[in-house]
């Protein structure tokens, strides 16, 4: 196997890879509140010490869709501290950035902005926790992107077709095509892959010389029939896939035998669920790429709070526990205390020699009490470890495996055991809604709406706090059904109307694409309705404050002059306009590139590249006593007008070499620099 020359630094990309940082998780917890911020600083510090070319994040930088001010402030503070500086960026971007960042008002990479001094660029896709929502489809990453501290890419809002255009990077003789796809509901993306509605565009020039790197944030393990993305769906010309969303650390690249590409799953950098996958040691990766060769170096995180977990099955210890013994509960409690003490001793030994390790570990003991046993008081048990563990309320988890009786004539088979869903498994809202209506009585069955549409509306209501989602969906479906009945000219007979409505509902259920469009349009109406309400509330609050000032004038205890001096009716300044800026004047590296699609026949056509002008209108506002708030205007950016199609590269012509961690030729990298 060929090796990478460590002295040839000018031709080697060094990329720090991390996913699922979940900033703000348990930020109000007195013990674990700062864990995510401390680990994020450690990740950025590793990037600066290793002098990486850029940082690549695989989604879920934030834990909440609407992070708190503390979380956003801490993130901005860390990015400014570690990612800004005078160290020159040594790679260039060859693709049309107006296409790569077309959702941004500043469609160029941040280190090429003449007003910013970026030493380590950060590229990130969004995850399912921090995905774009609301009438303007904004997310927390857009705030960081607007501030010039992060490059948000991989956005796609279309439910009909997804075209993934890569960011083309070049350093010396090494070229990387960086693909990204932010989180999309798994069932929708699964269906789009099956219907061949996902296309990965490829460079038209020397397509075999590019190292193809793909970042995705979806379910990798199967949670349902279509609630995941099989690895076989991805194109075989990809060299490495960085897979986010899965929290178990499997960062060492693993080769897919069918598609021949490698997959690296960095996992999360913080424990967010007390499940076995989270107990694996947390790492980030330092990826070296030269030509078509790569090497992933694992870096263990030292500030992550240790997590130890163990399972106990009481029925497996008949010599210790007898359900008929009146003192069996006390014996079980003593046995659990012994297990917890052993885990605490193990955690204490791991912390020796590492002063950055948090003092209190996370401990989890799962107890299967099936077989006639009774659980003891968890709260009383937790009181004994209040000052020794980080999660005293969650130390013990009692569960019981249930036997499924299978009837076959008169014989019963007790051999099959069915366990409860594994701890840490997420139950989705739409699945619960669908299950409820499918098993409900006929009188409460849905006759107009579909279970799928109702499930997605309820999920928007629960997860994204869209309070009008259900109401708007009902209105939208009702209007559409009324139009259908009018077009059919159905007789005003109850039986015929019910029959037509039933047929219309069944046809919508079969046409899943049309149903997706309906649900999406209803959600957009709900978000627009919420935005209008926010504007009205803001305007009414301003009017109320004005009324209070006017009332203050009539107060006989105050002088007229003092009352007028406190009035807030006049605008004190003049609004300043900003200078217009042309996005095409951002350096010679922002030139258009021709691509080929990886899905269809080879041809010489190329898609139309374009650039976009950003114009800010200068305006001066006259002094007025009251200015009502202006509503937000959605700005839409153009999409690709035409694409050339390109067949996938044969998997037999792969040219990727993977090196293990044992022979590390990068012990003393050269420090050649290039001006920005």
- Cα Rg of the chain (Å, integer): 29
Three-class secondary structure of residue 563 per DSSP: helix
Q: How far apart are the first and last CA of the chain?
A: 35
Q: Is 621 exposed, middle or buried (0-12, 13-18, 19+ CB in 10 A)?
A: exposed
Half-sphere exposure of 107 (CA within 13 A, CB side): 25
Which ranges constitute the DSSP H helices of 285-420?
Answer: 328-351, 378-382
How many whole angstroms from its chain centre is CA 668? Answer: 36
The whole-angstrom separation of Cα 631 and Cα 117 is 34
Tokens of 26: 């348990």
The whole-angstrom separation of Cα 329 and Cα 396 is 14
- Going from the C-alpha of 647 to that of each of 176, 199, 203, 245, 600, the distances in angstroms are 19, 10, 12, 29, 5
The whole-angstrom separation of Cα 298 and Cα 252 is 8
Active site residue 288: no
- DSSP calls for 180-242: EE----HHHHHHHHHTT-EEEEEESSSGGGSEEEEEEES--S-SSSSSS--GGGS-TT-SEEE
The whole-angstrom separation of Cα 321 and Cα 316 is 9
Which ranges constitute the DSSP H helices of 554-637?
Answer: 560-565
For 442-481, the three-class secondary structure string (H helix, E strand, C coil) is HHHCCCCCCHHHHHHHHHHHHHCCCCCHHHHHHHHHHHHH
- Going from the C-alpha of 370 to that of each of 48, 333, 400, 491, the distances in angstroms are 52, 15, 5, 60
The closest of 195, 197, 193, 231 to 214, measured between CA atoms, is 231
Name residues whose C-beta falls within 8 Å of residue 372's C-beta, 6 or more positions apart in sequence: 323
Which residue is catalytic, options 129, 152, 247, 308? 129
Three-class secondary structure of residue 46 per DSSP: helix
How many whole angstroms from its chain centre is CA 132? Answer: 10
Tokens of 455: 């499930």
Name residues whose C-beta falls within 8 Å of residue 439's C-beta, 6 or more positions apart in sequence: none
Tokens of 129: 């926790």
Three-class secondary structure of residue 286 per DSSP: strand
The whole-angstrom separation of Cα 611 and Cα 332 is 70
Active site residues: 129
């Amino acid at each position: 196997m060929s090796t990478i020359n460590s002295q040839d630094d000018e031709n080697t990309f060094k990329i720090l890879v991390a996913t699922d940082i979940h900033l703000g998780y348990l930020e109000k917890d007195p013990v674990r509140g700062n864990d995510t911020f401390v680990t994020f600083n450690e990740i950025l510090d590793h990037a600066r010490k290793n002098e990486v070319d850029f940082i690549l994040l695989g989604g879920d930088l934030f834990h909440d869709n609407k992070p708190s001010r503390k979380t956003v402030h801490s993130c901005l503070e860390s990015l400014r501290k570690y990612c800004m500086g005078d160290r020159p960026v040594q790679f260039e971007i060859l693709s049309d950035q107006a296409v790569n960042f077309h959702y941004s008002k500043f469609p160029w990479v941040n280190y090429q902005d003449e007003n910013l001094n970026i030493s380590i660029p950060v590229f990130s896709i969004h995850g399912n926790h921090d995905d774009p929502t609301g009438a303007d489809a904004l997310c927390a990453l857009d705030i960081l992107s607007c501030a010039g501290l992060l490059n948000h890419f991989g956005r796609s809002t279309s439910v009909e077709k997804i075209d993934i255009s890569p960011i083309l990077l070049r350093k010396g003789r090494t070229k990387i095509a960086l693909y990204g796809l932010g989180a999309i509901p798994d069932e929708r993306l699964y269906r789009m892959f099956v219907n061949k509605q996902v296309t990965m565009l490829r460079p038209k020039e020397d397509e075999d010389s590019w190292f193809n790197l793909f970042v995705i944030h979806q379910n990798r393990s199967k949670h349902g029939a279509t609630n995941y993305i099989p690895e076989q769906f991805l194109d075989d010309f990809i060299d490495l896939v960085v897979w986010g969303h899965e929290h178990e650390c499997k960062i060492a690249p693993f080769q897919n035998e069918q598609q021949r590409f490698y997959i690296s799953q960095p996992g999360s950098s913080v424990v967010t669920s007390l499940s076995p996958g989270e107990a694996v040691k947390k790492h980030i990766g330092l990826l070296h790429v030269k030509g078509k060769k790569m090497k992933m170096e694992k870096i263990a995180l030292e500030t992550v709070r240790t997590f130890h977990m163990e399972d106990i099955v009481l029925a497996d210890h008949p010599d210790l526990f007898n359900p008929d013994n009146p003192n069996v509960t006390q014996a079980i409690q003593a046995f659990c205390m012994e297990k917890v003490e052993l885990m605490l001793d193990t955690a204490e030994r791991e912390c020796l020699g590492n002063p950055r390790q948090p003092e209190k570990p996370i401990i989890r003991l799962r107890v299967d009490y099936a077989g006639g046993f009774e659980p003891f008081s968890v709260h009383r048990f937790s009181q004994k470890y209040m000052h020794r563990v980080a999660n005293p309320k969650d130390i013990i988890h009692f569960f019981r495996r249930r036997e499924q009786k299978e009837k076959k004539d008169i014989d019963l088979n007790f051999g099959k055991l069915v366990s409860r869903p594994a701890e840490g498994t997420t139950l989705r809202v739409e699945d619960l809604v669908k299950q409820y209506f499918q098993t409900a009585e006929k009188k409460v069955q849905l006759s107009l709406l579909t279970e799928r549409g109702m499930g997605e509306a309820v999920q928007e209501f629960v997860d994204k706090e869209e309070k009008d989602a259900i109401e708007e969906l009902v209105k939208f479906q009702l209007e559409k059904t009324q139009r259908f009945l009018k077009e059919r000219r159905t007789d005003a007979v109850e039986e015929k109307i019910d029959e037509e409505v039933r047929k219309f509902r069944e046809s919508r259920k079969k046409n899943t694409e049309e149903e997706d469009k309906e649900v999406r349009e209803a959600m957009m109406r709900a978000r627009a309705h919420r935005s209008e309400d926010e504007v009205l509330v803001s305007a009414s609050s301003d009017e109320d404050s004005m009324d209070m000032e006017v009332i203050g004038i009539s107060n006989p205890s105050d002088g007229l002059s003092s009352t007028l001096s406190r009035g807030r009716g006049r605008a004190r300044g003049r609004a300043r306009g900003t200078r217009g800026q042309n996005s095409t004047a951002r350096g010679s590296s922002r030139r258009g590139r021709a691509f080929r699609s990886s899905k269809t026949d080879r041809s010489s056509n190329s898609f139309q590249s374009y650039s976009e002008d950003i114009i800010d209108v200068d305006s001066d506002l006259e002094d007025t006593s009251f200015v009502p708030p202006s509503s937000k205007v959605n700005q839409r950016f153009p999409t690709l007008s035409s694409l050339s199609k390109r067949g996938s590269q044969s998997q037999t012509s792969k040219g990727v070499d993977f090196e293990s961690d044992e022979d590390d030729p990068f012990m003393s990298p050269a420090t050649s620099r290039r001006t920005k």
